[in-house]
Structure 1
Amino acid sequence: MPVIRHQQFIKASVEVCFNLARNVDIHTQTTSKTKEKAVGGVTQGYLEKGDTVTWEAIHFGIKQRLTAKVIHMEKSTVFVDIMVKGAFSSFTHTHQFKEEKGGTIMIDTFEYKSPFGPIGIIADKLFLERYMTGFIISRARELKRIVEKGN
C-alpha cells in the first residue's frame, strides 16, 4: 500500500490553514487542474466530522466520482478522511497542522490501495504513485498560495 507524505510550510496560523484545508469551496480552487467540484453531500463551506462529500473530477482524461467521509477531527490540528466509494480499493488521507515559527507546517499523509490486485500494484509503480504525489503536492502549494495571498 503506497504512502505519500508531503509537508508544506504556510505563513499563516494553524487555525487559518486548518479551516481553509477543510473548506469545500477552497478545495475546488486548489484542484482546478482536474476540474474537481463537489456534486454530493457537503457541497460548500466547511467539512465537519461525519460529513461526506462526493467529488467529480477528470483524471487521466476520464470523468470520475469519489465519495469521501471525514472520520476524525481535532479542531485546528488534524482531520482524516477516507474513501467510501470511488476508483481506489481504499484510501485514508490525514491532514495535520503544526505550529511553526512564523506559520504552520501542513502535513498530508495519503495512504491508498489500488484496485485490480497485481495489475494495480504494477500501475502504482508505473504511474499512479507519481501522479498522486504530484496531485497532493500541487494541492498543497495552491492552498499555500491562496492562504498567503489573503494575509
Structure 2
Amino acid sequence: MTATFTEVTRAACAPEELFTLSLSIDVHLASMARSGERAVAGVTSGTIGLGETVTWRARHFGVVWTMTSRITALEHPRRFVDEQVRGPFRSFRHEHRFERDGDVTVMTDVVTLRSPLFGPIVEPLMLRPYLQRLIRARNAVLVAALSEPRPDPTP
C-alpha cells in the first residue's frame, strides 16, 4: 500500500534561505536529536547536493533503522527530492517545494512511501502520523534556525 502525506510550513524568509538550510545535514541532525539520528556514510556534514547520498541511522519505535537517501532532483531554489536507495521502506520519496507568498516562503513537503513491514492498517494509523510528526519537528527546527542571529557578512 502506498501512503502519501503533505506538510506545509511558512517561514518569514526568502525561498533561497530555507532551500539551502533544508539541504544541511547538520540542521537535519539537530532536528532529529530525539531519535539519536546520525549520518554514518556519504555526506555526513555540511550541505548535500544533487546525486549525493547520505546514510542515516536512528532509533524509531525502539528499533535501530538504517536508510540511505540520494538527492535525485535539485532545482535551486524551487525544489529538491530525496529518495531512499537502501533501507526499511519498499519505497520512500520526499519532495521539498519552496514558493514565495508575499513576505513569506511556503515550504511544502510531500512524502510518498511504501513499507513492506507495515500492513494497510498499521501504516496509515501509526507510521504515516509518526513520520508526519517527524517532518513537522524538523521544519520547526529549520524555522527556528532562520531566526537565530547570523554573522554580519561585512567586515
TM-score (norm 1): 0.93
> Could you tell me the percent identity over the aligned residues?
32
* Secondary structure, aligned partner of 1:120: coil
Runs of 5+ unmatched residues, structure 2: 151-155
How far apart are 1:9 and its partner, in Å? 0.5
How far apart are 1:84 and its partner, in Å? 0.6
How far apart are 1:103 and its partner, in Å? 2.1
Contact 1:69 1:84 in 2 (8 A): yes
**Cα deviation digits, residues 33-65 of structure 1 (max 9, x gap):** 111111000111111110000001110111111
Larger Rg: 2
Query: What is the RMSD of the two structures over their aligned residues, measured on CA atoms?
Result: 1.3
* Secondary structure, aligned partner of 2:148: helix
Residue 135 (structure 2) pairs with residue 136 (structure 1):
yes
TM-score (norm 2): 0.91
Corresponding residue for residue 57 of structure 1: 58
How far apart are 1:2 and its partner, in Å? 1.0
Corresponding residue for residue 121 of structure 2: 122
Which amino acid in structure 2 is aligned with residue 12 of structure 1?
C
Corresponding residue for residue 20 of structure 2: 19
Corresponding residue for residue 33 of structure 1: 34
Corresponding residue for residue 148 of structure 2: 149
CA distance in 2, matches of 1:136, 1:150: 24
Contact 1:114 1:121 in 2 (8 A): no
Which has the larger helix fraction?
1
Aligned pairs, number:
149
